[in-house]
Amino acid sequence: MKKEYYLYVDGQKVKVSEEIYKVYWREEEHEKYLEQVDRKKHLLFFSSLDHDGHFSETIVDEAIDVENIVETKIMIEAVKNAISMLSTEERDIIECLYFNDETLSSIARRKKVSYQAIQWRKNSILKKLRLLLEEILK
């Protein structure tokens, strides 16, 4: 027995071929995917307009804290600038610890120094970064 395929058009059940059925649902899924992408990127799409061409929901999204986003971007830029002012050795230690998730022990072994030496260098570099950030953000 061959499977029958149906789509609903204006509330009416309409028999269609397997090919039409699959194409229809592939397009439906693709549209849902595109709407999810738009939502993630906080884009407005035409389906949010009502029949008069007005936005059916408010445009302002109270959940988004624009001020916080801007402050965060400024801080990230300041940290990048401060890190770029470090020596190659200092930058290497910071990148290993905070960007590559290496441990103090693994860095000490690789650099053939004691754990305490790397710990002291890390603390010294963090103090230097703090001073650089204070200077940058003045």
Q: Decide if 55 contacts 48 (C-beta within 8 A).
A: yes
Written in H, E and C, the secondary structure of 39-55 is HHCCCCCHHHECCCCCE
pTM of the model as a whole: 0.52
Q: Decide if 45 contacts 28 (C-beta within 8 A).
A: no
Tens digits of per-residue pLDDT, 102-136?
899 999 999 999 999 999 999 999 999 999 988 88
Is 48 a residue whose pLDDT tops 70?
no
Predicted pLDDT of residue 110: 92
CATH fold group of domain 66-136: Arc Repressor Mutant, subunit A (1.10.10)
Predicted pLDDT of residue 51: 53
The Cα–Cα gap between 60 and 95 comes to 38
Spatial CA neighbour of 81 closest among 131, 41, 132: 132
Predicted pLDDT of residue 54: 55
Is 21 a residue whose pLDDT tops 60?
yes
> For a pLDDT cut of 90, what percent of the chain falls above it?
28
Q: Decide if 21 contacts 7 (C-beta within 8 A).
A: yes
Predicted pLDDT of residue 130: 92
Predicted pLDDT of residue 89: 93
Residue range 62-87: mean pLDDT, rounded: 82
For the chain, give the DSSP string.
-PPPEEEEETTEEEEE-HHHHHHHHHHHHHHHHHHHHHHHTT---GGGB-TTSSBSS-S--TT--HHHHHHHHHHHHHHHHHHHTS-HHHHHHHIIIIIS---HHHHHHHHTS-HHHHHHHHHHHHHHHHHHHHHHT-
Domain ranges of the chain: 5-48, 66-136
